[in-house]
Amino acid sequence: MKNQELINYLESCGVCRVCQLRYLKARGHEYRDMQKTFQRLDVKVTEEDVPKDDTPGEQPAKKPRLSICSTCLGLFSKDFQTQLIAGILQSDFAKYDSEGIVLAISLPMTLQLRQLSMWFALQRKFGRASVDDNCAPDVPIKEAVKLILHPIVCAQLGKEYDANGMMINIELRHSTETDDVAKLVELNRAAFPAKAAHQKRIEISRGLLEKQYQPSRLKADLFEKYLPIPPAAVNDPLQLQSIELAGPLVCVAGRYRKLSRELSHTPWVLNGQRIMEDSIEEIIVRNVGMHFSETPEKITFMSSGREDVDVRCLGKGRPFVLEIPNSRCSSMTHQQAFDMEQAVDLTGKVSIHNLQVVPREQLTHIKTGEEQKRKYYRALCVLDEPVTLEILQKLQISESFDIQQKTPIRVLHRRPLHTRPRTIFSVKTCVQRDNPRLLIIDLVSQAGTYIKELVHGEFGRTAPSISSIIGKPIDILALDVVGIDLDWPADVNNAENVDKC
């Protein structure tokens, strides 16, 4: 089969130039200068047949109406591109500020049927030796969309292609779809009868078409009883059914300090009643998330561990990240980040810094290795009697030791009962200057250790404990997290960089 013969035949079947190149298996850039590609492939086509860029200002009314391609239904025509770009620009496109875009085009099934019909037609015309049963003779429509439409749309909109960018969901329809699908349902019943009576009829889907509808699984003669070979001419092109936009998923990371002993981590609701008015999650989402999204309820807040309501988190603070789907923008300036940091600080309950957009892959820092991390605590503890030198000496421990910790009673309602080993890396203690019954204990422990129980021992449910080590009752009055062993996200000083945005 010579290229020229193939093209002449496709031409006679009403296949457009772009699709002709698909059947010559042209690759990316070869669709740009089609005349040159045809020449290189030794195919003669008359120059005026190859569509050129439309010059604006010409009277389009007088232009002869080009017939519609029987295999792509006009998907690759200039008219369709113009319509598509106009449709995207009329959507909420301008609301989004995303560098990268990706097109997701949902095509009517009749297009897939038409490719198969042409496959059969070529086999009949040129023989099965030239046109394989298993390997489609053309560059598949989906791939051609990526090769041809994607670059054009990106260029026209001034965007980059980015698989993680804003998704433009385009749904197309065609007037023949209903009839063709009805015929397909009959064809499917005849071609792939259910193996057993009880077997449910297989749903017709695009996936099924891709898998089953090939010359190796379906006979041309049977196909032709329902649908024509080659594909029939049509009077109207594909139409845009809908365009929906979905902004990219953006991740914003930072570190928070918790300054209040009356603030829960996430909204605290019991039996439908709010126990606490606000939470770290809500404060951060309110002040940061709103810049990126109109739907804050869809934002996910994650942090490297969490504190109890009455525990503060000081020092460098705790790493957190917001996962923001359908984001309107994918970046923020230092000024914007600084403004958000200040807005959160104003609450007086939480303070955030190092706020930045991070790549999604970096979320693993927060999600994994949690158990291995070290946590640094400072606990204010009280004894029943004044501290002795002996007690102080027992609470200077520089070598690590293991404890066995049963799930504390206070969390048994939401966590299963386990006994877990935990490592305590060091203990340092000093006396509070003005009260000899008060101790300040600095602890370094493995993440996941229940510190309150480590101190008082909870009736032996944690062993050993600070109480069992000194052989005396001891209670905890206040606890602060002073350090978290996670060097992420990177340090950025938004305040200092404000002018450099």
CB of 288 to Zn ion, least distance (A): 47
Q: Under rule CB under 5 A, which residues in 16-55 are in contact with Zn ion?
A: 16, 19
Interface with Zn ion, residue 387, by CB under 5 A: no
Tell me the three-class secondary structure of 68-110, residue by residue: CCCCCCCCCCHHHHHHHHHHHHHCHHHHCECCEEEEEEECCHH
Helix (H) or strand (E) holding 305: none
**Is 355 one of the binding residues for Zn ion (CB under 5 A)?**
no
Q: Shortest CA distance to 385 belongs to which of 339, 438, 424?
A: 438
Q: Which stretch binds Zn ion (CB under 5 A): 14-22, 155-163, 293-301, 459-467?
A: 14-22
CA angle 19, 24, 29 (to 5 degrees): 80
Q: Is 69 in the site for Zn ion (CB under 5 A)?
A: yes
72 binds Zn ion (CB under 5 A): yes
The C-alpha atoms of residue 105 and residue 153 are separated, in whole angstroms, by 12
User: What residues act catalytically?
Assistant: 308
3-state helix, strand, coil in the chain (%, to 5): 35, 25, 40
Q: How far is the CB of 69 from Zn ion (least distance, A)?
A: 3
CB of 16 to Zn ion, least distance (A): 3
**Shorter beta-carbon distance to Zn ion: residue 231 or 319:** 231
Residue 111 sits in the site that holds Zn ion (CB under 5 A):
no
**Residue 83 C-beta: closest distance to Zn ion, Å:** 15
Query: What is the DSSP track for 42-72?
Result: T----GGGS--PPPTTS-GGGSPPPPPPTTT
Q: Is 137 within 8 Å of 131 (Cβ atoms)?
A: yes
| Beta bridge mates, 445 | 375, 424
69/455 with CB nearer Zn ion: 69
Number of other residues whose CB lies within 10 A of the CB of residue 368: 9
Query: Which residue, 141 or 451, has its beta carbon nearer to Zn ion?
Result: 141
| Number of residues counted as binding Zn ion (CB under 5 A) | 4
Question: What distance in Å separates the CA atoms of residue 381 and residue 374, rounded to the nearest whole number?
Answer: 21
For Zn ion, give the closer residue by CB, 72 or 227. Answer: 72
Residue 365 contacts by C-beta under 8 Å, 6 or more apart in sequence?
304, 319, 486, 488, 489
Site string for Zn ion, 311-350 (x = CB under 5 A): ----------------------------------------
The DSSP string of 139-150 is: --HHHHIIIIIH
Max CA separation in the chain (angstroms): 103
Min dist. Cβ of residue 71 to Zn ion (A) = 5
Which of these segments, 53-61, 69-77, 203-211, 326-334, binds Zn ion (CB under 5 A)? Answer: 69-77
Interface of this chain with Zn ion, residues 239 to 278, rule: CB under 5 A: none
Nearer to Zn ion, 16 or 383 (CB): 16
Q: Specify the stretch interacting with Zn ion by CB under 5 A; choose among 72-80, 105-113, 134-142, 281-289.
A: 72-80
Piece of 9-17, 115-123, 228-236, 395-403 that binds Zn ion (CB under 5 A): 9-17
CB of 144 to Zn ion, least distance (A): 9
Measured from the CB atom, the residue of 237 and 317 that comes closer to Zn ion is: 237
Give contact residues for Zn ion (rule: CB under 5 A): 16, 19, 69, 72
